[in-house]
């Protein structure tokens, strides 16, 4: 009965490869997010989708492309991986942000990506 799940938990790959991280939530939430936590534990938002629509797109390289096939899923695809992409990536979800009410974000366990 995990609320927000991510796969894989660990991902080790070579520079230049293309990889995807999957996120699923069973909370019935409308909004999902991707965050990146770097080696210094700094946590920064990358993308957010509300009802499958992209609503937040921070300054992220074009090599990163989120895809939301439905409200319960938000996947992150990364092309041409670079050493600097090594980080922990967190998915999160919340009730619809467009309702202008407080909406707690529920986080997944994280995916540790290591680029060699």
Partner 1 sequence: AQRVTQPEKLLSVFKGAPVELKCNYSYSGSPELFWYVQYSRQRLQLLLRHISRESIKGFTADLNKGETSFHLKKPFAQEEDSAMYYCALRTAGGTSYGKLTFGQGTILTVHP
Under rule CB under 8 A, residue 22 binds partner 1: no
Under rule CB under 8 A, residue 7 binds partner 1: no
Under rule CB under 8 A, residue 25 binds partner 1: no
* Strand runs labelled E in 1-116: 4-7, 10-13, 19-25, 31-37, 43-50, 53-57, 64-70, 73-78, 87-94, 106-107, 111-115
- Distance, CA of 78 to chain centre: 11
Instruction: Tell me the closest approach of the beta carbon of residue 11 to partner 1, in angstroms.
Output: 17
Window 73 to 92, contacts with partner 1 (CB under 8 A): 90, 92
- Does 4 sit behind a cis peptide bond, omega within 30 degrees of 0 on the bond before it? no
C-alpha angle 55/57/63, rounded to 5°? 135
**Which one of the spans 20-28, 63-71, 72-80, 102-110 is the region binding partner 1 (CB under 8 A)?**
102-110
- Measured between alpha carbons, how far is 116 from 106 in angstroms, rounded to an integer? 30
Under rule CB under 8 A, residue 111 binds partner 1: no
Under rule CB under 8 A, residue 60 binds partner 1: no
Window 36 to 55, contacts with partner 1 (CB under 8 A): 40-45, 48, 50, 55
Footprint of partner 1 on this chain (CB under 8 A)? 4, 31, 40-45, 48, 50, 55-56, 90, 92, 94, 97-98, 100, 102-110
């Amino acid at each position: 009965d995990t609320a927000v799940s991510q796969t894989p938990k660990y991902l080790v790959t070579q520079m230049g490869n293309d990889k995807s991280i999957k996120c699923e939530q069973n909370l019935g939430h409308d909004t999902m997010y991707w965050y990146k936590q770097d080696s210094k534990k700094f946590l920064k938002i990358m993308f957010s989708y509300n009802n499958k629509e992209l609503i937040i797109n921070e300054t992220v390289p074009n090599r990163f492309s989120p895809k939301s096939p439905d409200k319960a899923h938000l996947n992150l695809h990364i092309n041409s991986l670079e050493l600097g992409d090594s980080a922990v990536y967190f998915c999160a979800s919340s009730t619809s942000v467009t309702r202008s009410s407080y909406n707690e974000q529920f986080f997944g366990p994280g995916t540790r990506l290591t680029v060699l």
